[in-house]
Structure 1
Amino acid sequence: MIGAQTGTAGAYAAFQRQIGQGYDLLKQGRLDDARHLSERLLAAHADNAEALYLAGEVQLEAGDADAALALISRAVEVAPGQFALLLKKARILNLLRRRSEAKQVAGEAAAVAANNGRALWAVGSVHGRCGDPATERRFYERARAAGVQDPALLYDLATAQFFTGDFAAAEENLDALLADAPGTGHALYLRSTLRRQTEANNHVAELQARLDAGVLDDTGRAACLYALAKELEDLGKAEESFSALSEGAALKRRTLSHDAVAEREAIAAIAGTWSAESMKAPVEGHDEAGAIFVVGMPRTGTTLVERMLGRHSEVGSAGELLDFGQLLMAAVQKVRASDPAKTPAQASRLIDFAALGRDYMASARQAAAGSPVFVDKMPINFMYCGLIRKALPNARIVHLVRDPLDTCYAVYKTLFNQAYPFSYAQDELGAYYATYHRLMQHWHAVMPGDIVDVHYEDLVADVEGQARRILAHCGLDWQDAVLASTSDHDAPSMTASAAQVREPVHSRSVGKWRNHEAGLAPLVASLAAARLIDLPSG
C-alpha cells in the first residue's frame, strides 16, 4: 500500500474500489472516463499517493510525461521512502530523457529495495535505459545473489554482460537459461553471436534438434533459425547457412505488422519538403557545439567509427540515441495539433529549431557523461541530416557508406531487437536501401560539404588515413590513441556489434555477399533496378 488510509474503514474501502475502477478504465482504453475519475479522486484526496499515482498513469496514457512526473513527484513527497513511487518516477525520467536524474532516483529506490531481488532487477533496468550497462549488470548480479531465479533475469543479465564485453559469463548464463526455458528463441540467437563458432565448439546440432522438436513458436523458431544460420556461416557452410537464414527471415517477416511502402514514402517526403530553397531559408538554431552524428545504414561500420572517436581524449560516446527523432516528432506533433492538414514533413518546417537543438543537447550530454564532444551513432539519423543542420548548425555529421550488397546482406542476416522491420524481406530491404541512398544524395546536394562520407572498405584498408579525415571533419586534433586496438578499448557497446568491435579491424566482411549470390538474387535484382549496382556477369 503506497497511500495513507483515507478516513474510516468504509470510506477507505470505497476509495480503493474507485482506484481499482480507474485502472480498469485504463485497461479498457476509456481514457476520458479514467481522467474524470482521477480528477474527482484528486479533488477529494489531493495528498493521497495512490490517487496521485493513478492520475500519473492517466497522464502517461494521454502522452503527457511531464504532467505525470509532476504528479508522481508529489506522491513521493507525501509518501517518502516508497519503492514503487521512486521506481515510477525514475522510469518517467527515463521517458523524458533526463538520464542523470533517473539514475539519482534509481539510487534512492535501490536504498529502499535493500536485498529485495526483484526490486533490484527493476532498478537495474532503469540504468539500462540510461545507457549504463555496467551499472545495470551490477544490479542484476545483486538480484541473482538475492535469490531471483527467473529466466528473464538471466537474459537481462546476459545481455548486459554482452554489452560490457564479458562474453564467457553471458554464454554461461544463457546456457543456464535455455536449460530452464528451452523455448527462449532470442536467447539462442544472442548466444550464437557472442563469439565465432568453431568445429570443436558450436551449437549447431543442438539448434537443429530444437527446430526438429517443433516446440518453438514462430518468433522463437525464427530466432533459432537466425542462430543456426550464424553458426553455420562461422563454420564455412555457406549454402546451409543461407537456407536457414532465408527460412528464418521469411518467418520473422510474417510475425510483423509493418507497412514497408508507407515507411519509404515518409522518408521520400522529407527530401520533397527540405529542398535547396528550404535549406537556405534562415532559421534560429542552437549554436552549441560538441555533437557528432554518425549516420548511415546499420551494419556499415558506424560502431567502428564511434569506438575510434571515443578513444580521443575530448570525445565520449552517447550510444545510439533515439533522442533527436523523438524530440523532432514531438515538435512536429505540436505543429500538427494546430494544423492537422499538414503532413509530418510539412510541419517539420515550422518547428522551433532552437528549442529542438537545445533540448537534444541537454539530454544527449547526460548520455555522454559530460564529455565536451560526444558521438551519437544512431544510424537512422540519416533521415534528419538537414534538420540536424537547422537545429544544431555546429554539429558534425559523418556518413558511413558500404558496398550496397555487402550492406544489405549484413542487415539481412542480423536479427534486430525491435528495429529495422524492412530487413526481413529482400525486396523490401533493397527498396529501403534505394530510398536511403536517394535521401543521402539529396542531403549532399542541398547542404554541400556538411557531411563527410567514409567508405567502410577504405576504413578497414587504411585506418589511419580515414581516421585523420574523420577527425579533421570533426574539428579534432590528431591523437595516436584513436588507432589503439579495439581489444584494448573495453568501454561498453550497446549495439548488435558489441562482440565484433572488440576484435582488431579486419576486412573479412568485404565482398561476403558473394558467398550467397544465388540466394540473394531478389536483392540483387532490386538494387540493379534502382541502378545502384550492375547485374553480376555470368
Structure 2
Amino acid sequence: MTPNELALWNEGQQHIVDGRLPAAQAAFESLLESNPWLVPARLLLASVFLAQGRVRAGAEQAKFAAFALPDDADTIHRVAQCLVRVGETNAARACLQHPEVARTRNAPALAALAHICQALGLHAPALAMMDRAKALGYDTADFRYFRAIQLQFNGRLAEAEAEMEACLKQGPTYGRASLTLARLHRQREDSNHLDFIRARLASVPTGTEDHAGFEFALYKELEDLGRLDEAWAALQRANAIMHARLGYDPATMPRLVDGLIAQTPPSFLAASDHRLDGPVPIFIVGMPRSGTTLLERILSGHSQVASAGELADFPRQLRWVADQHGHELIDDALVARLSALDYAELGRRYLEQTQWRAEGKAFFVDKLPANYQVAGLIRRALPQARILHMSREPMDVCFSNYRALFGDAFAYSYDLAALANHYRQYRRLMAHWQMAMPGAILDIPYPRLVQDTDAMAREILDFCGLPFEAGCVDTGSNRAAVATLSSVQVREPIHARTLGEWRRYERPLQPLQDLIGDL
C-alpha cells in the first residue's frame, strides 16, 4: 500500500473500533478506489455493511474479493467464511477450488478450511483437509475434537472414539469431548468414564460451557448405569449452568409467532403461480430431536433423492431478499418486512445456491428443523417443494431437548418453563400453517414412523411424488454422512426404544407436563 492507502486503511479500522460505521465505509471505499484488488479491505468493507444490516452490499464485496484471491490459504479461508455467512454458497465452493488450497502446507489454514467444508455439508472433503493438517503435524485439543466429530459424521466411530480420547488428554477441561465420548456407546459398570468425568468436574472453570459439558456427560453415563436419581441431579446442574450463561426471554417466541400469524393469512399463503426449474427440495421441519434425522435417512435411501443435510440456505436467502442482516433464523424486524418481499426471487436464489446438492437427482432433502418457523414462506417461494413436519409426543420431544447440549443454538432448552413455553408456541405456529395452507404440509407422527415404518414410508414417498423403494427403510445400510446429534443412533436399524423415555423421570418432570398441558 502507498502511504495514502495505508492512512485510509488505519483510519477505517479506527472508525470500526470507535463504532463510526459510515465513516469506516467511506474510508474503505476511498481506499478501494485506488487499490480495487486489496482483498482485506474488501472483507472489512463487507463487515461494515453487514454491521449496518446491509446483506446485499456485504455479499457484493465478498464476491468481489473472491475474484481477487491471492495465493494465501488464510485469506482464502476468510473470504470463503464471509461468503458462507451471506449465503453465497457457490462462490464459497469456488474458493475451495483455488489451486493454493490443494498445494498449501499451512496446517492451521487447512483446519480452518475444513470448517468451511463442514459448514457447506461437504463432510468427506472436510475430513480429507483435516487429515492433511494432521500429516503436517498440526495437533491441538480443538483440532482433535473437530476431527473426531468429522470421523463420527463419516461413520468411522472407532477412530472417532480414539481421537476424542486424545483430545481429552490434551484438553483437560474439554467438556464437549467428554459428552461426545459418552454418547458413542452405552456405558457399563466395567467400562465407563465416571472417575475421569468427576476428576475433570473438580478442575473445570465453574459456570463455563465445558463445565456444563461434563455435567451432561455425567448424566448420560449415570443413566446408562441405571443410577437415575444421580443422573437427574447431574442433568439439572448441566441445564442450570447453560440457562445462567445464556438466559432466555420468554416473551420473544410468543411475539414472533403473533407477528408471523398476523402477516401470513391464508390469502398471503395462497400457492404462487411461478414455477422454477431444477431439482425439487424436500424440507423436513419440526422441533429439534423429533426424529428429523431418521426421516432424512429414510428419504435419502431412495434412488431419486439426495441428502443435503441441515442447510441454512433458505433463511440466508430470505435475509438477502429482505436485505436485512441478522443472526436469528427470523426475527421481529424481518417479520415486519414479509409482505414486501419478492418470493419468486427468493425461490430462484435458493435453488441457484442449492441445486448442486442434488447431485443430478430429481429431489434433495433440506433438513433444518427450525425451518418450521418459515414453512409458509417456503410455500410462497417454492410452490413445487414438499414440506414434511416431523411430530413427536410432547413430553418425549421436550425431554429430548432438555437432555441435549446445543451450545447457544436453542437457549429455551435449558429451563423447563422456557421449554414448555417454546413448545406451546411451536405447536401454535404449526397449527396456523396447517389451517392457512391445508394439504401443503404432511405431518409425520414419530411413533408411527418407528412402529409401522413401511406404511408410513409409503405415505411419505407418495406425498413427495416418489415410488416406494424397499431400501428406504433399511437405514442401517445407509452409509451417507450424518452431521447431527443422532449420527450414532441413526446408523442402527429403526427401533422404538426411545418412545416414552421421559417416564424414567416422570416425577421430576411433572412440572413440565403441567406447563405443556393437554397439547
| Larger CA Rg, structure 1 vs 2 | 1
- Could you tell me how far 1:109 is from its partner in structure 2? 5.4
Match of 2:257 among 262, 267, 276: 267
Q: How far 1:216 moved relative to its partner?
A: 4.8
Q: How far apart are residue 469 of structure 1 and its match? A: 0.6
Q: 1:187 to 1:27 in 2, by over 3 A?
A: farther
Three-state SS of the structure 2 residue aligned to 1:374 is strand
Letter in 2 for 1:429: L
C-alpha contact (below 8 Å) 1:291/1:373 kept by paired residues: yes
Counterpart of 1:508 in structure 2 is: 497
Change (3 A) 1:55 1:109: farther
Question: How far apart, CA to CA, are the structure 2 residues paired with 1:52 and 1:375?
Answer: 34
In the TM superposition, what is the alpha-carbon distance from 1:417 to its structure 2 partner?
A: 3.6
Whole-Å separation in 2 of the counterparts to 1:92 and 1:218: 28
2:329 maps to none
Counterpart residue type for residue 507 of structure 2? A
Q: 1:178 to 1:93 in 2, by over 3 A?
A: same
Amino acid at match of 1:421: A
Cα distance in structure 2, aligned partners of 1:43 and 1:389 = 43
- Residue range with higher mean Cα deviation, 510-519 or 90-99: 90-99
Aligned to 1:460: 450
Do the aligned residues in 2 keep the contact of 1:284 with 1:354 (CA within 8 Å)? no
Cα gap change, 1:334 to 1:116, in 2 (>3 Å): closer
Matched, 1:365 2:365: no
- Residue from 425, 449, 463 that aligns with 2:415: 425
Query: Counterpart amino acid of 1:245?
Result: L
Superposition pairs of residues 247-262 of structure 1, within 5 angstroms = 247-262=237-252
**TM-aligned CA deviation for residue 272 of structure 1:** 2.6
- The letter of the residue matching 2:68 is A
Alpha-carbon separation, structure 1, partners of 2:104 and 2:256:
48
2:153 corresponds to 1:163: yes
Q: Which moved more, 1:365-374 or 1:135-144?
A: 365-374
The residue type paired with residue 31 of structure 1 is L
Matches within 5 A, 1:64-143: 64-76=57-69, 80-108=70-98, 110-111=100-101, 113-143=103-133
Q: Does structure 1 conserve the Cα–Cα contact (< 8 Å) formed by 2:42 and 2:62?
A: no
How far is 1:334 from its partner?
5.9
Q: Percent identity?
A: 33
Report whether the alignment pairs 1:381 with 2:364.
Answer: no
The residue correspondences of 1:201-280 to structure 2 (distance < 5 A) are 201-213=191-203, 215-280=205-270
**Within 2, Cα distance between the matches of 1:300 and 1:34?**
46
Distance verdict in 2 for CA 1:501–1:335, change over 3 Å: closer
CA deviations over 1:429-456 (Å, ceiling 9, x no partner): 1111111112112222222222211111
Residue 303 of structure 1 deviates from its aligned partner by: 0.6
Q: Which moved more, 1:29-38 or 1:250-259?
A: 29-38
Query: With structure 1 as the length reference, what TM-score do the two structures score?
Result: 0.88
Deviations 1:114-171 (A, max 9, x none): 2221122122122111111111011111101101122211111111112112222122
Conserved? CA contact 1:93–1:102, under 8 Å:
yes
Aligned 8 A contact 1:91 1:126 in 2: yes
- Secondary structure at 2:387 match in 1: strand
SS of structure 2 residue aligned to 1:454: strand
Structure 1 distance, partners of 2:168, 2:431, is: 46
Paired residue for 2:284? 294
Counterparts in 2 of 1:301-340, with a 5 A limit? 301-333=291-323
Distance 1:224 1:108 in 2: 40
* Comparing 311-320 and 18-27, the one that deviates more: 18-27
- From the superposition, tell whether residues 98 and 34 of structure 1 become closer, same or farther in structure 2 (CA, over 3 Å): closer
CA distance in 2, matches of 1:429, 1:118: 39
Change in 2 beyond 3 A, CA 1:243/1:368: farther
TM-superposed deviation, 1:175: 1.4
Partner in structure 1 of residue 180 of structure 2: 190
Contact kept, 8 Å, 2:319 with 2:325, in 1: the verdict is: no
Change (3 A) 1:258 1:369: farther
Partner of residue 506, structure 2: 517
Q: Answer yes or no: is the 8 Å Cα contact 2:222–2:231 preserved in 1.
A: yes
**Change over 3 Å in CA distance of 1:185–1:123 after alignment to 2:** same
Q: Does 1:409 align with 2:429?
A: no
User: Deviation string for 1:226-280 (max 9, x for gaps)?
Assistant: 1111111222222211111011101111000432321232023212322234334
Q: What is the root-mean-square deviation in Å for CA atoms of aligned residues?
A: 2.4
Runs of 5+ consecutive residues of structure 2 not aligned to the other structure: 327-331
| TM-score of the aligned structures, taking structure 2 as reference length | 0.91
Asked if 1 retains the 8 angstrom alpha-carbon contact of 2:287 and 2:370, the reply is yes
2:463 aligned residue? 473
Distance 1:53 1:294, change over 3 A: closer
1:25 maps onto 2:18 in alignment: no
Query: Displacement of 1:90 after TM fit?
Result: 2.4
User: SS where residue 102 of structure 1 aligns?
Assistant: helix
**Cα deviation digits, residues 198-223 of structure 1 (max 9, x gap):** 22221122112222345454221111
- In structure 2, the residue matched to 1:489 is 478
- Residue 481 of structure 2 aligns to which amino acid in structure 1? P
